[in-house]
Amino acid sequence: MTADDPYLWLEELDSPPAARWVADRNAETLAAFADEGFARAKDAIREVLDSKDRIPYPGWRGDGLYYDFWQDADHPRGLWRRTTPEQYRRDEPEWDVLIDVDALNVAEGENWVWGGATVLRPGYDRCLVSLSRGGADAVVVREFDLRGRVFVDGGFTLPEAKSDVGWIDADHIYVGTDFGPGTLTASGYPRVVKRWRRGTALSEAELVYEGHVDDVAAGASHDSTPGYERDFVGRSLDFYRSELHLRRPTGDLVKVDIPDDAGCDVERDWLLIWLRTPWTVGGATYPAGALLAAPFGAYLEGRRDLSVLFEPDDRTSLGSFAWTRNHLILTTMTDVRTRLHVLTPDAAGWRRRPLPGAGELDDAWIVDTDPDNDDSYLTASAGFLRPETLSLDTVGGAVEVLKRAPAFFDPEGMEVRQHFVASADGTRVPYFVVGGATPAPTLLTGYGGFEISQTPHYDGVVGRRWLARGGTYVVANIRGGGEFGPAWHQAALREKRVKAFEDFAAVAADLVARGITTPAQLGIEGGSNGGLLMGVMLTRCPALFGAVVATVPLLDMRRYTKLLAGASWIAEYGDPDVDADWAYLREFSPYHNVRPGRSYPPVLFMTSTRDDRVHPGHARKMVALLREHGYDVSYYENVEGGHGAAADNEQAATLWALTLEYLWRKLGGA
């Protein structure tokens, strides 16, 4: 305990006093919802989450099979499984179960949560499986035999850490992990990368590359594409700047000479570069948000023959891209409305053709491509009122619908609208409104950070437990996100963060001005960086809202860099140890802006003890401070779940039921 921070003791993750405090707060919150209405809500949400009619979204691993990770009521921790394309087309495919995580937990007395798998190419007979205890970012890595369906005795194994691993060949992997003191960055990620040979101790692995302590992370990868085998190493200087080097067989490094804030991708003959800031090279200037292409070999030799594959405008940005064998699929957004395009390089340049996509206010996205297959790719589309459709498309234009997701609520009488509002500085900010008759209890959500876009989506939980009860649902596309490219994100970086908060407040005020809701009926919800947004709204403009829910939130901007992965976000928020940065951070840090005697709306904070990305101390301390001043504040901390706050559908249903029931009751829902 200190005079500056009397609740510092709540940062002690598992100390008996902190554990007792958490248990008491959990008991209070659950007691308030120990009724039939909450039980019905939770059961209805479980039906959505556990539905066996959901689409099992597949991924290609290069062997022609569809891989999927699946959770339902019978398999709460999930099955990693695969099937053939022919079987997948059936209503009830025959799945080849590779790992049953629930059975593994019983056999090993663990609480494993699936963390993914990296399959060896081109053999496809081994993989590196990541398992986390309770859903944390830190994982245990174990080699798995895909033919024998067993973990490999004496195979590659790493203890719990925030590791980064990848295959080189059957007997070697690249590994970045906690090798001991000095081998992690200040953010807690690997600083040192080694080449580890099968049958040898990890301590004997060959040093390949070292980053700096102040970097976010360092890593290495091997490209096993036949005829293009090569290795890369690099480091993330901060969240948006990085360096990449081609690693020659001799161990020599050749830097890929691009702006350090640009992203890049190397696929076969091509280098792709996407820009966050304008770049002048070879006598030409390319704008922020552009996607460029160049022959990789010629680029390394110093030639700068760049082709512009995408150039943004004030309304249009690049969403994502993915390669087939010889084609590039692009997703673009115009006023947060997605479009798909296929680009094909030939002797005359790059040919471009639009692809079938989503409806006017729906969203379309690339699910997966197989870089070894030049014909097909998987896409999906959905809208706020239209469940997902998964299709197998070809670059030739053929579209085969593979799966349609079920509807979890009746959209009769509902509509989707998009509005724009002028923020405090006049910037035009879009938002989507979903629902029927107004005014109504309204749930407004937003994020506004890390260049992450909020696009239309089908949410059976929100639909069933909010829209179907007569509520209105709103998604705000505020600055800090990526909806209009890098400039939209950079407009709310660091000392300009207030722009994101002004945008969100403008949307809230516009909802009232349009008669969609009233302040007393307007609830807001957000998680992680969105949880920071909720904390700022609570302390900055409480009169706009009737209730607030913040999940796994970032709230103490004075100490965030000292807690877990916080140092990796300095490029986003600023460094509180620098006086000039703290001068603006303290103006919006929620924990430092709680004041007595204000009319704060009721607020619910939720987090996870196992969140090793955003420390649960943020939410704990905020709740303790609000309680000290007598405010209406509730708290729930899930033991498991990591940064997602839930390790299985039962836990997720509890969190969703708390969120929606809390807001519905506080906002006067019928």
Which tens digits make up the pLDDT trace of 8-57?
A: 999 999 899 999 999 999 999 999 999 999 999 999 999 999 999 999 99
Q: Rounded to the nearest 5 degrees, what angle is found at the Cα of 368, between the Cα atoms of 265 and 380?
A: 130
φ/ψ (deg, to 5) at 76: -60, -35
Residue 636 has pLDDT above 90, yes or no: yes
Which residue type is seen at 430?
A: P
In whole angstroms, give the CA distance from residue 607 to residue 536: 17
How sure is the predictor about 373, in pLDDT bands with cuts at 50, 70 and 90?
Answer: confident
- pLDDT mean over 339-357: 89
Q: Which two tokens stand for residue 170?
A: 């059957």
- pLDDT mean over 370-388: 90
Which tens digits make up the pLDDT trace of 282-306?
A: 999 999 999 999 999 999 999 999 9
Which tens digits make up the pLDDT trace of 423-460?
A: 999 999 999 999 999 899 999 999 999 999 999 999 99
Tell me if residue 528 is catalytic. Answer: yes
Which tens digits make up the pLDDT trace of 81-109?
A: 999 999 999 999 999 999 999 999 999 99
- pLDDT mean over 348-356: 89
Which tens digits make up the pLDDT trace of 482-492?
A: 999 999 999 99
In whole angstroms, give the CA distance from residue 308 to residue 221: 27
Residue 132's Cβ-side half-sphere holds a number of Cα atoms within 13 Å equal to 25
Distances (CA, A) of 394 to 341, 376, 379, 404: 12, 4, 10, 19
Residue 3 has pLDDT above 80, yes or no: no
Residue 127 has pLDDT above 80, yes or no: yes
Q: Which residue carries 């025959």 as its tokens? A: 94
pLDDT of residue 347: 85
Q: Give the strands of the sheet with 376-382, arranged side by side.
A: 363-369, 376-382, 389-394, 399-404
What proportion of the chain, given as a percentage, has pLDDT over 70?
Answer: 99
Residue 135 has pLDDT above 90, yes or no: yes
φ/ψ (deg, to 5) at 209: -160, 145
Domain assignments of the chain as residue spans, ordered by start? 16-47+408-666, 329-406
Helix-then-strand count for the chain, H and E = 13, 39
Q: Does domain 16-47+408-666 have CATH number 3.10.129.10?
A: no
Burial 261-272 (b: 16+ CB within 10 A, else e): bbebbbbeebbb
Q: Are strands 157-161 and 164-169 parallel, antiparallel or unpaired?
A: unpaired
Residue 1 has pLDDT above 50, yes or no: no
In whole angstroms, give the CA distance from residue 36 to residue 282: 69
Q: How many of the other CB atoms lie within 10 Å of CB of 658?
A: 24
Question: Coil, strand or helix: which one is 21?
Answer: helix
Q: Which two tokens stand for residue 318?
A: 């690049």
* Nearest CA-CA partner of 535 in 472, 621, 430, 638: 621
Which tens digits make up the pLDDT trace of 191-248?
A: 999 999 999 999 999 999 999 999 999 999 999 999 999 999 999 999 999 999 999 9
Name 403's bridge partners. Answer: 390
* Nearest CA-CA partner of 333 in 264, 396, 418, 253: 418
In whole angstroms, give the CA distance from residue 480 to residue 497: 8
In whole angstroms, give the CA distance from residue 524 to residue 548: 5
pLDDT of residue 2: 55
pLDDT of residue 375: 76
Which tens digits make up the pLDDT trace of 581-625?
A: 999 999 999 999 999 999 999 999 999 999 999 999 999 999 999
Sheet strands (E) in 22-163? 59-60, 66-72, 75-83, 96-100, 112-119, 126-133, 139-145, 150-151, 157-161
- Between the two ends of the chain, the Cα-to-Cα distance in Å is 44
Name 334's bridge partners. Answer: 316, 337
* Nearest CA-CA partner of 132 in 97, 163, 106, 173: 163
Bond before 439 cis per omega within 30 degrees:
yes
Three-state helix/strand/coil letters over 96-123 = EEEEEHHHHHHHHCCCEEEEEEEECCCC
Q: Are strands 428-435 and 472-476 parallel, antiparallel or unpaired?
A: antiparallel
Catalytic residue among 132, 391, 528, 634: 528
Q: 61 vs 574, which has greater pLDDT?
A: 574
Q: Give the torsion sign (CA, 178, 184, 187, 189).
A: negative
Residue 359 has pLDDT above 90, yes or no: no
In whole angstroms, give the CA distance from residue 101 to residue 481: 35
Rg (CA), the chain: 25
- Please say whether the beta carbons of 620 and 110 come within 8 A: no
- pLDDT mean over 348-375: 86
* Nearest CA-CA partner of 435 in 453, 417, 449, 447: 417
Catalytic residue among 222, 592, 618, 643: 643
Question: Coil, strand or helix: which one is 432?
Answer: strand
Q: Show Cβ contacts of residue 571 under 8 Å, excluding neighbours closer than 6 positions.
A: 238, 239, 240, 241, 493, 494
Q: Which residue carries 């009122």 as its tokens? A: 385
